[in-house]
Amino acid sequence: VQLAESGGGLVQAGGSLRLSCPTSGRKSRTHTKTWFRRAPGKERELVAAISRTGGSTTYAYSVKGRFTITRENAKNTVYLHMNSLLPADTAVYYCAAGSTEGGSRSDSRLYEYWGQGTQVTVSS
């Protein structure tokens, strides 16, 4: 299973970006898909997660109402739609896949597969 994020870049505060994460491997279709981020000097944190069917989502409090996670299982791709971006959203964003049943989606140890990350920079 391989994940490859794209869509990051430099944007002004208030702008929008869409991150994409196509995944290879049939096994990943059954996984929870999650976006994490790591800002300079901070711990990695969950941004948004989506269940296998897309019927259940989880968001960090700081992005609720601004970010939306979606997935297209036919394309084996997960997206993160980011609106009203803030300088505080500046970070490297990582896509992850794994089985989180019985655990917390925010627990990065539950994710078997990770992408290389894509930089998002929001200027003020």
Report residue 38 CA to chain centroid gap: 11
Task: Look at the block and give the residue holding tokens 């990695």.
Answer: 44
Task: Look at the block and give the residue holding tokens 């089985």.
Answer: 99
47/106 Cα distance (integer angstroms) = 9
Residue 78 identity: V
77/30 Cα distance (integer angstroms) = 12
Q: What is the pLDDT along the chain (124 residues), one digit of tens a residue?
A: 899 999 999 999 999 999 999 998 766 667 899 999 999 999 999 999 999 888 999 999 999 999 999 999 889 999 999 999 999 999 999 999 998 888 899 999 999 999 999 999 999 9
User: Dihedral sign, CA of 90, 42, 28, 2?
Assistant: positive
Token digits of residue 26: 């049939």
